[in-house]
Amino acid sequence: MSQVTDTQRHAAGPGGAAGYAAGIKDVVILELKQRLRSRGWYIMLAIWFLLTGLVTWLTWASWNASQAAQRAYSDFTPAQTGPGSMIFEVVLAFVLLFALLVAPALSANAVNGDRAGGTLAILQVTLLQPGQILWGKFFAAWFAALAFLVASTPFLVIGVALGGMTPGHVIVALLMLAVEVGVVCAVGVGISALAGRPLFSIVVTYLAVAGLVIGTLIAFGLGTGLTQGTIKANQPNYREYQPLSNGPVEPEYTCSGPLREQPAPRTERVAWFLAMNPYVVVADAIPYPERTDPQGFTSVGAIESISQGARYAMAGPEGTYPCANGEAKPRYLAQETPLWPLGLGLQLVLAGLLMWLGWRSLRTPAHRLAPGTRIA
């Protein structure tokens, strides 16, 4: 009987891809209706909106205070570019941080929560295929998480209104934030299908997110210590600081003397660890104007500094070490070769692997179940 039912289930779905998509849509609608009935989801959304607004106001107040202090204690008044860039970067970092905290809560018990409640078996005995159930759970969790990004959009737009940013920055930032939230939701749903207990899957999902955010930094630091090498370089001779002029920008130092072997870490060999970090993916995808200040990072914000740090690691000593191969190196690296496609690709491989394993665990009839697993 089970073999006949399984055969009918896989043969179901008239219309091919359209029928398969219709099954996913039914699961999404069912999941979203359950979430919209929950009062806690609206409370979390309201708290998210208020916290983002508070961070925006504190950033604006901090910028005003710093400008007032500079005018009071210094005769030099910097160019007034407005607090827009600062607000945009602080809100972006805050939104990404809390998105990575909220997404696991919305996805890590999507499958085993229904299994524990005895409702997953009801879906499995229908004509829905395991992939339709899994994709429906994923899209429902992703759409619920995107509501939090929509709630934070007005505060990113404030950065454009106050100057220093363009609408393109907001569009790219929101797209990359949505993709990163989708990756975390896919990881959570895949782990939820694999794990038998909701609490265990939630903890493992948060550990996976922590591994992407913090573990990649630790792995890069340890890998850098294991990839020591040498490079040929000569002696740098630094110039005195000169104000910017309308002419071509000169390097801040010149190189002279014979080339000698010098120790240098080969960071380009382990830069892919940094590429997997969600902050690096988002920061590196945002386009920034090319800096021409010879003193380096005088006008670089926090998010742009993250992108520059990752590009320094990817360039290795050949592109960053002073007087490497007898050439002066720029302190600011242009966004010529993007790093974020590599990091996003590695994240998608991880999420895809977990989703595939989750799909295998949802296939019926099940040949083996964990002890104590509830079927109906």
Q: Which pLDDT tens digit goes with each residue over 124-145?
A: 777 888 888 899 999 999 998 8
Q: What is the DSSP string of 234-295?
A: EEEEEPPP----SSPPPPSEEEEEEEEEEEEE-GGGSHHHHHTSHHHHHHHHS--PPP--TT
> Which amino acid makes up residue 221?
G
Q: Which pLDDT tens digit goes with each residue over 176-201?
A: 999 999 999 999 999 998 887 888 88
pLDDT for 290: 63
- Per-residue pLDDT at 247 exceeds 60: no
pLDDT for 211: 93
Burial string for 154-184 (b: 16+ CB within 10 Å, else e) reads ebbebbbebebbeeebbeebbebbbbbbbbb
Distances (CA, A) of 69 to 74, 77, 114: 8, 10, 57
336/231: higher pLDDT: 231
Contact (Cβ atoms closer than 8 angstroms) between residue 323 and residue 340: no
Between CA 144 and CA 41 the distance in angstroms is: 9
367/260: higher pLDDT: 260
* Residue 338, preceding peptide bond in cis (omega within 30° of 0): no
Q: How many CA atoms lie within 13 A of 142 on its CB side?
A: 19
Domain ranges of the chain: 2-73+80-203+347-362
Q: Which pLDDT tens digit goes with each residue over 166-178?
A: 788 888 889 999 9
Contact (Cβ atoms closer than 8 angstroms) between residue 115 and residue 14: no
- Per-residue pLDDT at 111 exceeds 70: yes
Distances (CA, A) of 160 to 86, 89, 98, 166: 11, 11, 22, 6
Between CA 180 and CA 203 the distance in angstroms is: 19
Residue 101 phi/psi, 5-degree rounding, is: -90, -30
Mean pLDDT of 1-16: 45
Give residue 369's pLDDT band: very low, low, confident or very high (50, 70, 90): low
- Per-residue pLDDT at 146 exceeds 60: yes
280/242: higher pLDDT: 280
- Per-residue pLDDT at 117 exceeds 80: no
Q: Which pLDDT tens digit goes with each residue over 315-345?
A: 888 877 788 777 777 777 776 778 899 999 9
Give residue 162's pLDDT band: very low, low, confident or very high (50, 70, 90): confident
Distances (CA, A) of 308 to 1, 35, 39, 134, 287: 61, 40, 42, 38, 12
Give residue 354's pLDDT band: very low, low, confident or very high (50, 70, 90): very high
The per-residue pLDDT of the chain, averaged, comes to 79
Mean pLDDT of 243-249: 45
Q: What is the DSSP string of 20-38?
A: HHHHHHHHHHHHHHHHHT-
Mean pLDDT of 235-264: 66
Which bin fits 181, alpha (ψ -120 to 50), beta or left (φ > 0)?
Answer: alpha
Cα torsion for 113, 119, 120, 121, to the nearest 10°? 140
Which bin fits 176, alpha (ψ -120 to 50), beta or left (φ > 0)?
Answer: alpha
